[in-house]
């Protein structure tokens, strides 16, 4: 089941997801050997296009691919980005079609071995594969108690759908035809108001599974979230939430 296939889920995703992507791509840009943009970039599992827009920092022309037509319908119009409907493990491109490929917050939904084989096929020799994530830890700078609520109340009420957690160990990718060149993890603080935090949480796969997957009522979910998170903000109009950002840069072996 594609949790992000429905129009209602895609609408919440487009509204609720923060645009953190340039912070990661900026670090990737510093690492890449050439200061000039690479000719051809592919952003896989692009969703509503945030990650495709960010990839323009390192690629002159970008293709954004996603398996959800509803997500793509909410992607921005951009003269250097082409959006297509395609599955990450069955990409409609020829051998060595791209210089760089990015995938953001999505590899955990895929068969990693199959995806790496497909990425190797469509990347040119010594081309780059950039995998990155931005995982909500539940840490709130202004309240130490929020992380306990996040784990004991939110995740308990809305469990995470099954996924394959992403890690790349040194030497692991050699058998898949990639050299692991760069790894970085860092704290990424994102500011939310109570309303924008609710928008973000309702774009989570946890809540999509409960609403679109199991017939829950999104307005009831929003009301519960508003009641639960309000006390953590107190009189504050906004607060800082710490995410665990991770980026892996792999280079295709010749």
pLDDT at 176: 92
Count other C-beta atoms under 10 Å from residue 116's C-beta: 23
**pLDDT (mean) for 222-250:** 96
**What are the residues whose beta carbons fall under 8 Å from the beta carbon of 6, sequence distance 6 or more?**
70, 208, 212
Alpha-carbon dihedral 88, 89, 92, 96, rounded to 10 degrees? 100
pLDDT at 168: 84
The answer on pLDDT for 35 being more than 80 is no
CA distance 143 to 165: 27
Alpha-carbon dihedral 193, 218, 202, 222, rounded to 10 degrees? 30
Angle, in degrees to the nearest 10, between helices 194-201 and 7-16: 140
CA distance 187 to 42: 26
Secondary structure E strands in 159-219: 178-192
**pLDDT (mean) for 233-244:** 95
pLDDT at 22: 93
The answer on pLDDT for 16 being more than 80 is yes
Choice among 26-40, 61-75, 218-232, 235-249 with the minimum mean pLDDT: 26-40
Q: 106-121, pLDDT tens digit by residue?
A: 999 999 999 999 999 9
The answer on pLDDT for 1 being more than 70 is no
pTM for this prediction: 0.94
Distance of CA 35 to the CA centre of its chain: 25
Q: 171-206, pLDDT tens digit by residue?
A: 889 999 999 999 999 999 999 999 999 999 999 999
Q: What percent of the chain has pLDDT over 70?
A: 100
The answer on pLDDT for 128 being more than 90 is yes
pLDDT at 253: 93
Q: What is the largest CA-CA distance in the chain?
A: 57
**What are the residues whose beta carbons fall under 8 Å from the beta carbon of 32, sequence distance 6 or more?**
38, 58, 128
- What sign does the CA torsion over 195, 198, 200, 203 have? negative
Secondary structure E strands in the chain: 38-44, 59-66, 81-85, 98-104, 123-140, 178-192, 239-252
**pLDDT (mean) for 129-146:** 97
């Amino acid at each position: 089941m594609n949790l992000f296939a429905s129009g209602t889920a895609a609408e919440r995703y487009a509204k609720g997801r923060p645009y953190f992507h340039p912070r990661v791509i900026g670090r990737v840009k510093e690492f890449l050997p050439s200061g000039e943009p690479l000719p051809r970039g592919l952003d896989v599992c692009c969703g509503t296009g945030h990650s495709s827009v960010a990839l323009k920092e390192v690629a002159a022309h970008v293709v954004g691919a996603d398996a959800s037509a509803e997500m793509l319908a909410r992607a921005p119009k951009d003269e250097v980005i082409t959006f297509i409907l395609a599955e990450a493990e069955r990409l409609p491109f020829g051998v060595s079609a791209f210089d760089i490929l990015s995938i953001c917050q999505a590899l955990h939904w895929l068969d990693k071995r199959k995806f790496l084989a497909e990425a190797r096929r469509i990347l040119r020799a010594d081309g780059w594969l950039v995998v990155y994530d931005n995982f909500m830890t539940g840490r709130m700078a202004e309240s130490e108690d929020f992380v306990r609520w996040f784990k004991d109340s939110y995740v308990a009420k809305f469990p995470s759908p099954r996924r394959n957690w992403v890690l790349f160990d040194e030497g692991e990718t050699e058998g898949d035809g990639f050299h692991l060149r760069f790894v970085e993890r860092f704290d990424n603080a994102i500011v939310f108001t109570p309303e924008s935090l609710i928008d973000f949480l309702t774009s989570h796969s946890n809540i999509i599974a409960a609403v679109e997957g199991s017939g829950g009522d999104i307005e009831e979910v929003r009301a519960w979230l508003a009641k639960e998170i309000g006390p953590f903000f107190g009189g504050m109009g906004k607060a800082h939430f710490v995410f665990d950002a991770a980026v892996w840069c792999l280079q295709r072996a010749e």
